Structure 1
Amino acid sequence: MLDIEKIGTHFFTTLYRIGFGFVLSISVGLFLGMSMGKFKTVEAILGSFVGFVLTIPATVWAFLAFILFGVTTWSVIFVAMITTFPMVAFSVSEGVKSRDVRYDEMADVFRFSRWKKIRRVFLPYLFPYIIGSARSAFGELIKIAVFTELLGSNVGIGYVLSFGWSVASLYLILSATVIVVVFMLIVDYGVLYPIEIYATKWKGGS
């Protein structure tokens, strides 16, 4: 039977996978979203592809990942990233397209450099879209990562759930579930939500 110390080790393995997958998801989604929002040709080419990726169930991606990478950490990271970056990409794309051009005109009047315009005008306007999609992606990414581990991994919280089910241990199942839920709530409401509130203050004129 797994003890608390071993469950902690499995949790930190899952935490590493979630963190890596989250960074990749945000990075890929941000790059594609900005490209699709800025260039109509890119949106016409990539928009359908990103939408297609979003429609494929996580189970299919998990089986493909196991074939490509084996039952490894990279499989979990890949599935977590591939299933969540589309929501970031679409949100950022909408943010770029809805941007008020008057902000650019104001920056030109004050003769902002290109870098200053990006730092003081473009990114502050886009940031609420980024952090909003990051919150949604983070919650989904945790569920996908644990689900992928449950399907085929010998380490991680998903494995603890699978092992708990195989030995009919309510203790293991509840322990793993509580750890995941508490972690998600701490990051979401303790980190991401306050950032989102701060990032959207200017919209209320405060």
Structure 2
Amino acid sequence: MSIAVDRTSRPERSVAAELVKPLAGVAAARKNPEGRRDIFATCVVVIVLLVAMEITSRFVPDYIMPSPVTVWNAARELFFSDPYHVAVTLVRLAISVVIAMVAGVLIGLAMGMFPSVRPYLKAIVVIDTGIPALSWMLIAVFWFKNPESRIFFILLVILLPFYALNVYEGVRALPKELVDMIESFRPSRWQVLRYLILPHIVAYIFLTTKSVIGYAIRMVIFAELVASAVGIGARMNLAQSTFRIDQVLAWTFFLVILNLLLQAIVNGLEKISLKWRAEATVR
């Protein structure tokens, strides 16, 4: 067995290190402005929307478009009166996304690693993706008496196919060279899963999570509106029935902020988990 030996002298190493440091600094400097530009663009869009709301509210009745100040007062009122409903929605969202992630990853791995069951699992997942969300909501009302079971079932069947299909595509995208190399050591199936497949699909799991967060928030609100008397969706339904559009908009802005916060959390976890992976920049 031949072992590669590093024959670079120490002075050469120090010179190389000095050359690499400025390049790393330039790369870091390039990343920070991009993040600042995103934040700046988001702030500009928010300001434009608020200005448009203020101008529109001066020409239409309050029940059509309230002013930003009115919406802010409604948001303050809801923040102190409805924290329980916010907590319930967040717990439902977190549990449903985690369980859908685990189940979807397992199904995706089974589709990628076991050719005998792949066609059947793939058919089930594809059929699931073709069923409208409204159909699942109506079916859940017939099948389950408990509102929590209804909401959990709705989110599970809607989010699971995203993880299953993306993980399956991640397994298919494994480089053939890596597969041939690890198979040359005659590993067990568990070793292939641990050392090759799982590290490879982590990026696909994070990508799927970032893609479904906003969709999952919309679905949990819709499910609460249809199948529950507790949660943000139920409170929005109550605001609509009492013609409180200021509360509807206040809840809407809260959900937008929640989506941005969850996206930032997932992005941070992705950077920590995939810090070993070099990022390519296309000019």
TM-score range, shorter chain: 0.7 to 0.9
Higher mean alpha-carbon deviation, 16-25 vs 136-145, is at: 136-145
Matched positions, count:
205
Aligned to 1:52: 127
Residue 57 of structure 2: aligned partner:
none
Map residues 76-115 of structure 1 onto 2, 5 A cutoff: 76-107=151-182
> Quick check: 1:145 aligned with 2:220?
yes
Q: Is the 8 A contact 1:37 1:97 kept in 2?
A: yes
Post-superposition offset of 1:191:
1.5
Say which structure, 1 or 2, has more relative contact order (CA 8 Å, 6+ apart).
1
Corresponding residue number in structure 1 for 2:267: 193
Q: Which residue of 2 aligns with 1:28?
A: 103
The answer to which structure has the higher helix fraction is 1
Using a 3 Å threshold, how does the CA distance of structure 1 residues 205 and 102 change in structure 2: closer, same or farther?
farther
Residue 174 in structure 1 maps to residue 174 in structure 2: no
The aligned runs of 1:5-24 (5 Å cut-off) are 5-24=80-99
Distance of 2:280 and 2:250 partners within structure 1: 44
- The alignment's C-alpha RMSD in Å is 2.6
- Aligned-residue identity in percent: 26
1:34-81 Cα distance to aligned partner (Å, 9 max, x none): 111122232211112111111111111111111111251121111011
Higher Cα radius of gyration: 2
Q: Does 151-160 or 33-42 show the bigger shift? A: 33-42
Change (3 A) 1:114 1:64: closer
Return the TM-score normalized by structure 2: 0.65
After TM superposition, the score normalised by the length of structure 1 is 0.87
Structure 1 residues 45 and 112, CA gap change in structure 2 (3 angstroms): closer
Please give the alpha-carbon distance, in whole angstroms, between the structure 2 residues aligned to 1:10 and 1:77.
16
How far apart, in 2, do the equivalents of 1:185 and 1:3 lie?
20
Corresponding residue number in structure 1 for 2:202: 127
Shift of 1:18: 0.5
- In the alignment, the residues of structure 1 paired with residue 280 and residue 199 of structure 2 have an alpha-carbon distance, to the nearest angstrom, of 14
Structure 1 unmatched ranges of 5 or more: none
